[in-house]
Amino acid sequence: MHRLAKHDIGRYFAHRHTQRLARVLFGVGCAALLIACMRLIGSTTRLPAPFAWLLPAIVLATLYGRWLAGTVAMASGILGIWLFILPNQAVYQVLPLTDGARALTVGLIGFILLFLTETFRAHVDRLALERETELARRQMLLREIEHRTRNNFAMVASLLEFQRRQSTSPEVGLALDDAIKRIHIFADAYTQLEASPGESSEVAMKPYLARLLERFSEGLFSERIAIESALTDVSLPGKAAVAVGLYLNEALTNCAKHAFPEGRAGTVRVTLVVTENGWQLAIMDDGVGGASHMTKAATSGSGLGGSLFEALAAQAGARHEVTVSQSGRRLDLISRP
């Protein structure tokens, strides 16, 4: 019966008009089959309440041909009984309802309806169970992929760190440091995805960005530069989270290279807040800001160019804003509504 429950008359035809015609014909066929059975049964036994027997035909037509077939079955069934059954009450022994006949009719029709509805209910339950099982399997595979991806990022970072230790060129060392930091950003995002409860595919930004700031405070910034943060609990999809992490990485790298020249002390403050349209990330420093000796890289972005900030903002579903003054520099990443 599970195979029967999967059928839909309209699905066997490609064009919409053909589907409608098939459902109409199916509804007429269900009604015609009912009339034929009533004529056959009524010729040998009593057949009370002929219109009540329309219910199984209507249900059957609706289950296999949707509402159109059910409506056609109801209309054509009423017309068929009116034309072929009622005028021949004496021949087909269509009798007025008695209590016993009424009970028998309701019982038979109820049994048919119970059989049809229970069959389809069991089929729906079976499909739901199969879907839940498949969803759980895919979720497990996704977690496994995320775990392996994180491990692969960690392995690549280890290889680059080894190469950096072997390198004697300062330029190569700086380039490898940038690459290692970016790889850690991806790895941390997958770590947060793996730690997310249930089936969540979003990254908790507060611990994710806190870990990134911890790496910067331990490595790139000197003791004279303090990093302050005020991060709100915000969750973003994995792709957007990585873009935000890379944006913060480029902003902090830019601060370390240009905002505090010649051993100048200062503070970098990072905030992540919830707004009416979503969220806003701000990176503020009290470095040289708009001083005349600032390089173009310091005011436009990192060594990859200011367009990198715009690209990362687009990937995060946000917009990038820069404010430069004599008292420092501020970058804002503001989510779009």
Tell me, rounded to whole angstroms, the distance of Cα 107 from its chain centroid.
46
Residue with tokens 């038979």: 108
Token pair listed for 250: 């480029």
Contact 181, 228 (CB under 8 A): no
What pLDDT tens digit does each residue of the chain (337 aa) get?
A: 455 556 778 788 888 899 899 989 998 999 999 888 888 876 666 566 677 778 888 888 888 888 888 888 888 988 888 888 777 655 445 455 565 665 666 567 667 766 777 677 677 778 888 888 888 887 777 677 767 777 777 788 788 888 878 888 888 887 887 788 778 777 777 676 666 655 457 888 999 899 888 877 766 676 788 889 999 999 998 888 888 988 998 898 888 888 888 778 889 999 999 998 899 999 999 988 654 444 444 444 444 446 889 998 999 999 999 998 888 899 999 998 8
Q: Positive or negative, the Cα torsion across 2, 3, 4, 8?
A: positive
Residue 285 burial (10 A CB sphere; 0-12, 13-18, 19+): buried
Q: How far apart are CA 306 and CA 310, in angstroms?
A: 7
The model's pTM = 0.53
E strands, the chain, are 202-204, 225-231, 235-237, 266-275, 278-285, 318-325, 328-335
pLDDT at 44: 62
pLDDT at 297: 45
Q: Which residues of 66-84 are buried (b: 16+ CB within 10 A; e: fewer)?
A: bebbbbbbbebbeebbeee
pLDDT at 302: 42
Reference 56, options 124, 126, 117, 129; nearest CA is 117
pLDDT at 110: 63
- Give the full edge-to-edge strand order of the sheet including 318-325: 225-231, 266-275, 278-285, 328-335, 318-325
pLDDT at 273: 95
pLDDT at 146: 66
Please give the domain boundaries of the chain with CATH numbers for all domains: 2-96 (no CATH), 222-337 (3.30.565.10)
Category of 220 on φ-ψ map: left (φ > 0), alpha (ψ -120 to 50) or beta: alpha
Q: How far apart are CA 129 and CA 289, in angstroms?
A: 60
How much of the chain is helix, strand and coil, in % rounded to 5?
65, 15, 20
Q: Is 286 helix (H, G, I), strand (E, B) or coil?
A: coil
pLDDT at 293: 42
pLDDT at 296: 45
Q: How far apart are CA 192 and CA 234, in angstroms?
A: 12
pLDDT at 299: 44
Contact 318, 336 (CB under 8 A): yes
Residue 193 burial (10 A CB sphere; 0-12, 13-18, 19+): buried
